[in-house]
């Protein structure tokens, strides 16, 4: 793990870019945010469906959660963020946009590129987790936050993940819908009641399917981007209950 | 309004019993909890379906919310708590228990006594609200907490109610299901995912029906009595956002 740049933010959080592995298409680019008081528990934060780790909403969330006292890390996994994408994935994304705008069914298109994307992302997130836990500023249990499908994939197999917060979850690849019952850690499932890209009933069915004995659903009125800011603070308190 | 007894609790909260109106069946018995720092905003707290204001879970909730900084009040309205009940209501309650245990439909029984109970309770809660707002320790906007049907009835007609937290809401009389769209204040709707007495889909449909632009659903795994303690604190923060 090589830190390639760092900046100290006004709120005291240290924001560092890193890479894992040798130069090339397989190199994993990541960002680590650490609070002023360390060592701190770690939260792996992933944006839904491979949006970039540099996406401003993810960065804003990561900075605030780090200021609250967590180490937060995100990576661009294969086919995610700025990593090279196959022509097939680019074509599937274009086709998804077209189909959604036309109001056509999108399951097959979605499955065709998000399913493989999750399978490729999971091992890189686990490799990154190993590397992060060797960083002196990080200690204690691990939380997960964000992309539902990837989070299911990770929480189902990785016992170091002690609590998970998932967002949206209307479209989740079939493999992860089936894995949901294997997720048994405490769960905060956040959805937008009128999410234009995530059918409500499917998200509710997914919440129902999780194997966790302790699971909480938060839903707010509005579309995909309308989550109220207090939900991030609720998320912090959820992790405080389980990672402290 | 006559205070008939008072005690100072260990957490500093002043707990006072009061009565409104002359002695007799129409006299309203109530409890008022006030914090150490006053004047404070008021929260009207009602237990579902007329359970007594002295019920230990309501009392515990009221004391903690008062310690957080709110004046909290509850009353036993007609046919509620220790107030005299008609033979018809007693019979309907017995019939409801029998039907629920037998797994029979309960809508008609429920409607027959909860519908009229809400209609009788609402004017007394509004009379009590007038009296409470004249108490020097109370000032500012008013919140409502608890019994969904009564809360809909009050919030739909009473502009002084600025925010409402409702619980359960699977069985709500028809009149209040129809009034739900008239509720437009910020709303926190709390339900138990496996509430044995409140069908989940009906509660979700009710959440959908509220007219509020700002509404949040919280759901937790477990039965009617299994609400996690952190939900009370989430409730305090909801009121803090809207009553402060």
Q: B-chain residues within 8 Å CB-CB of A241?
A: 230
Q: What local confidence, expressed as pLDDT, does residue B222 receive?
A: 96
For B221-232, what is each residue's pLDDT tens digit? 999 999 999 999
Does the structure show a pLDDT above 90 at A103? Answer: no
Residue B169 has pLDDT above 90, yes or no: no
- B193 to A208: CB separation less than 8 angstroms, yes or no: yes
Report chain B's mean pLDDT, rounded to a whole number: 95
Quote the CA–CA distance of A232 and B82 in Å, as a whole number: 43
Domain assignment of residue B232, yes or no: yes
A237 and B230 within 8 Å at the Cβ level: the answer is yes
Q: Is residue B65 pLDDT above 90, yes or no?
A: yes
Structural domain of residue A54, as residue ranges?
Answer: 2-85+117-243
pLDDT at A48: 84
Distance from CA of A11 to the nearest CA of B (A): 24
Q: How many domains does chain A have?
A: 1
Distance CA(A56)–CA(B108), nearest Å, equals 53
Q: How far is CA A239 from CA A43, A142, A186, A236, in A?
A: 9, 9, 9, 5
CB contact under 8 A, B193 and A204: no
Q: Do A220 and B217 touch (CB under 8 A)?
A: yes
CATH number at A138 reads 3.40.50.1820
Bond preceding residue B39 cis, omega within 30 of 0: yes
CA atoms of A218 and A238, how far apart (whole Å): 12
d(CA A104, CA A118): 24
Q: Is A40 inside a domain boundary? A: yes
Average pLDDT over residues A38-52: 93
User: By CA distance, what is B241's nearest residue in A?
Assistant: A230
Residue B177 lies in a domain: yes
For residues A73-92, average pLDDT: 91
* The pLDDT of residue B57 is above 90: yes
Q: Would A105 be classed as within a structural domain?
A: no
Check A221 against B230: CB less than 8 A apart: no
Compare all CA atoms of chain A with the CA of B211 and give the residue at the minimum distance: A221
Smallest Cβ distance to B221: which of A193, A215, A220?
Answer: A215
Is B12 within the bounds of a domain? yes
For A108-145, the pLDDT digits (tens) are: 998 998 999 999 999 999 999 999 999 999 998 999 99
Tell me the mean pLDDT in the region B133-139: 97
Residues A223 and A194: beta-carbon distance below 8 Å: yes
Query: Is A98 an 8 Å CB contact of chain B?
Result: no
Please tell me if residue A199 touches chain B, with a CB cutoff of 8 Å.
no
- Taking 90 as the threshold, does the pLDDT of residue B85 lie above it? no
Of B217, B220, B221, the CB nearest to A219: B217
Q: Which of A64, A47, A69, A68 is nearest to A138 (CA)?
A: A69
Residue B197 scores a pLDDT above 90: no
pLDDT of the residue at B82: 80
Residue A169 has pLDDT above 90, yes or no: no
Tell whether the model's pLDDT for residue A239 goes beyond 90: yes
Asked if B223 reaches chain A (Cβ–Cβ under 8 Å), the answer is: no
* B221 closest CB neighbour out of A204, A213, A230: A213
Residue range B210-231: average pLDDT? Answer: 97
Per the domain annotation, does A162 fall within a domain?
yes
pLDDT of residue B40: 98
Size of interface A-B (CB pairs under 8 A): 47
| pLDDT, averaged across chain A | 95
- Banded model confidence at residue B45, pLDDT cuts 50, 70, 90: very high
**pLDDT tops 90 at residue A81:** no
On the question of pLDDT at A223 being above 90, the answer is: yes
In a domain, A103, yes or no: no
CA-nearest residue to B226 within chain A is: A214
Residue B25 has pLDDT above 90, yes or no: no
Kindly state the DSSP code that residue B240 receives in the 8-state scheme.
H
A230 to chain B, any CB pair closer than 8 A? The answer is yes
Q: How confident is the model at residue B118 (pLDDT cuts 50, 70, 90)?
A: very high
Please check the confidence at residue B170 and state whether its pLDDT lies above 90: no
Query: Is ipTM beyond 0.85?
Result: yes
A47 CB near a chain B CB, below 8 Å? no
Residue A160, in any domain of the structure = yes
């Amino acid at each position: 793990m090589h830190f390639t740049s760092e900046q100290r933010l006004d709120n005291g959080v240290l924001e560092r870019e890193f890479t894992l592995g040798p130069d090339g298409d397989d190199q994993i680019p990541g960002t680590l945010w650490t609070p002023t008081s360390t060592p701190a528990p770690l939260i792996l934060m992933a944006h839904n469906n491979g949006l970039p780790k540099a996406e401003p909403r993810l960065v804003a969330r990561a900075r605030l959660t780090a200021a609250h006292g967590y180490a937060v890390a995100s990576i661009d996994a294969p086919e995610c963020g700025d990593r090279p994408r196959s022509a097939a994935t680019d074509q599937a994304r274009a086709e998804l946009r077209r189909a959604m705008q036309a109001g056509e069914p999108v399951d097959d298109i979605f499955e065709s590129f998000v399913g493989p994307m999750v399978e490729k992302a999971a091992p890189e997130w686990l490799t990154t987790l190993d590397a992060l836990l060797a960083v002196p500023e990080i200690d204690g249990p691990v939380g997960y936050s964000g992309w539902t499908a990837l989070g299911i994939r990770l929480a189902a197999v990785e016992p170091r993940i002690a609590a998970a917060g998932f967002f949206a979850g209307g479209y989740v690849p079939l493999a992860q819908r089936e894995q949901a019952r294997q997720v048994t850690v405490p769960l905060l499932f956040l959805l937008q009641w009128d999410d234009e890209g995530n059918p409500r009933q499917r998200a509710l069915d997914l919440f129902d399917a999780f194997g966790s004995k302790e699971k909480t659903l938060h839903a707010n009125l509005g579309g995909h981007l309308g989550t109220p800011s207090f939900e991030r603070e609720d998320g912090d308190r959820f992790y405080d209950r389980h990672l402290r």
